[in-house]
Chain A
Amino acid sequence: MISIEGLSKVFTSNKSSVTAVENLDLNINDGDIFGVIGYSGAGKSTFVRLLNRLEEPTGGSIKINNEDITAMTARQLRIARQDIGMIFQHFNLLWSRTVEDNIAFPLEIAGVAKMDKQKRVQELIDLVGLSGKEKAYPSQLSGGQKQRVGIARALANNPKVLLCDEATSALDPETTNSILDLLVDINKQFGLTIILITHEMHVIRKICNHVAVMESGKVVEQGEVMDVFLHPRQHVTKKFVEQVMGNGEEDENIHGLTEVYTEGEIIRLHFIGETTNQALISQLAKNYEVEINILQGKITQTQAGAYGTLIVQIAGNELDEAVRFIKEKSSVEMEVIQDAK
């Protein structure tokens, strides 16, 4: 459990002072993938850097598993940092070292014996899928491969927490997805708590369980990813949800649809964190004598399952039975837009 209370950071220069993080309270559960999203300058990087005291807080406290990070001496902090992995947007690998030597670096810092070190490095290389690249230098790797080295390096000392600052922002969408998959994998395998900073909602959508939205140094909204998707309260949050779900403009076309498709019923299905009834459409088509025509929709996958809406036209002899099945037997919410009967 990570508990953060009243965390603040004020940068003071000669003339001016900037409050980058202001009186921030947050609790993060063990084994969670916790996303922090916000626009540029919201204070996300400052926040994550406060967690391992790369930036000294100007107020508040951070406790990781009841150890008060903020009260530690420099020496205690160095030991504590070996339990907090960190990965970076620009990877920050040592170009003078090979892949294996980069991964060995945190082990050298922790004073791991040579034999154990070699064994651990090989394990990590296999874990992140870089076998065969042991002797390569960072300059010979692609961005995605570099980030894999970064992840292996961050995991070397079996940390309890992994901090990711824009870890995928320098990567293309395909590579981003493979890195995110790797992070989920690691989270599941080792029960590692991941704190992930991003400005892209689809990253949150894809892997996070909880999300906090930051704006000018404060958390303005937080909760389970699904809840925040369903009921965004703040303007910023709505903007971020629209990044993934579109902005609901397509609803305006529904009237057009109802004029064209006059047969049967037009129904809107809401998938809200659906894991069991994802195959609903094919179930209906198989089990009932109905024709299903998908008219419009947007479904996206989150850690809690499928999320989104689908507008379908259902017609046929067993229409009523099919509709009753959706209502009573499935967890998909349903709304009848037009009943032609």
Chain B
Amino acid sequence: MLNDLFQSIKIEDLIEATKETFYMTITALIGTFILGIILGLLLFLTSKDGIWKNKSFHFVVSAVVNVFRAIPFIILIFLLFPFTNFLIGTIRGPEAALPALIIGSAPFYGRLVEIALREVDRGVVEAAKAMGAKTRTIIFKVLLPESMPALISGITVTAIALIGYTAMAGAIGAGGLGSYAYYSGFMRRDFDIVFLCTVLIVIIVFIFQFIGDIIATKLDKR
């Protein structure tokens, strides 16, 4: 009966699509984490009472972040076509989705990083300064470790948005479960496939949420 219901599904295709979704999500997540932390640090350090206080620089970074956050993801993909083509050499497939995925989610994560850094006790930064710490030491040994639980919860939230983005990108040819659901499912009026892809994506979201929560709790010694 089960075979009957899902007869049109090729298990190899499904596995391949799931792998692609994982690949896109994890690779983009790593890129987002790095770029987002850089953006968040820049926003935080150049702000009014930051170590590299710089009004105009802060304004520019802040404006860029806000503009990119304002662009709907599907439009961002179109906008980035020339850039992606130049960078990856194609606009199709999982690799081609990465620039848009990272550029689409890093500004969002950057804001979350900025908020997390603001929550770090200023007294602790001050204590590090009083000990003669360099700015690099303050960043890597105080700001980032002290905000790590918030950085992890932030990246979890971002990961879930990112899974959504991969599905959207999939619908215009990036591969993954989004592609599979759209081309093999929706276009062929085969709703079993759409349904199965949905279930798989929900499971993937749950996995990311679960892992993120565990890590954040484990790191939080407050």
Contacts and interface: CB of A to CB of B under 8 A. Distances in A.
Please say whether chains A and B are actual partners in one complex.
yes
Interface of A: 52, 54, 77-82, 84, 86, 88, 90, 92-97, 105-106, 108-110, 137-139, 153, 157, 163
B127 A92 contact: yes
Given A54-B130, A82-B131, A105-B141, 18 more contacts: A78-B133, A81-B129, A86-B130, A92-B124, A94-B124, A94-B146, A96-B219, A96-B221, A97-B145, A105-B128, A106-B132, A108-B137, A109-B132, A109-B134, A139-B221, A139-B222, A157-B131, A163-B130
Contacts of A95: 146, 221-222
Nearest to B147: A96
Interface in B133-168: 133-134, 137, 141-142, 145-146, 148
B131 A81 contact: yes
A88 B129 contact: no
B123 A92 contact: yes
Contacts of A78: 132-134
Given A96-B146, A139-B222, A90 B128 contact: no
B132 A82 contact: yes
B157 to A, nearest CB: 21
Among B127, B133, B134, max chain A CB count under 10 A is at B127
Among B132, B145, B146, B219, max chain A CB count under 10 A is at B132
Nearest to B149: A96
B126 interface: yes
Given A54-B130, A96-B219, A88 B123 contact: yes
Interface string B209-222: 00000000001011
A78 B131 CA distance: 8
Contacts of B128: 105, 109
Contacts of A153: 127, 131
Interface of B: 121, 123-124, 126-134, 137, 141-142, 145-146, 148, 219, 221-222
A163 B127 CA distance: 12
Contacts of A90: 123
A238 B162 CA distance: 67
A94 B219 CA distance: 13
Contact of A106 (B126, B131, B221): B131
A109 B133 contact: yes
10 closest A-B pairs (Cβ-Cβ)? A81-B132, A92-B123, A92-B127, A78-B132, A137-B221, A86-B130, A106-B131, A82-B132, A96-B145, A95-B222
Contacts of B124: 92-94
A106 B127 CA distance: 10
A86 B129 CA distance: 10
Contacts of A81: 129-132
Contacts of B146: 94-96
A32 to B, nearest CB: 20
A94 B145 contact: yes
Nearest to A137: B221
A92 B126 contact: yes
A108 B136 CA distance: 13
Contacts of A96: 145-146, 148, 219, 221
Contacts of A138: 221
B141 A108 contact: yes
7 contacts: A80-B132, A81-B132, A92-B127, A95-B222, A96-B146, A97-B145, A153-B131
A109 B127 contact: no
Nearest to A150: B127
A105 B222 contact: no
Given A54-B126, A108-B141, A92 B121 contact: yes
A162 to B, nearest CB: 11
B37 to A, nearest CB: 16
Contacts of A93: 124, 127
A138 B180 CA distance: 51
Contacts of B137: 108-109
A78 B219 CA distance: 30
A228 B160 CA distance: 67
Among B124, B137, B222, max chain A CB count under 10 A is at B124
Contacts of A92: 121, 123-124, 126-127
A80 B129 CA distance: 12
A96 to B, nearest CB: 5
Nearest to B129: A54
B126 A109 contact: no
Contacts of B129: 54, 81
B172 to A, nearest CB: 42
B142 A94 contact: yes
Contacts of A108: 137, 141
Contacts of A88: 123, 126-127
A90 B124 CA distance: 10
Contacts of B126: 54, 88, 92
A81 B132 CA distance: 5
Among A79, A86, A94, max chain B CB count under 10 A is at A94
A79 B158 CA distance: 41
Nearest to B219: A96
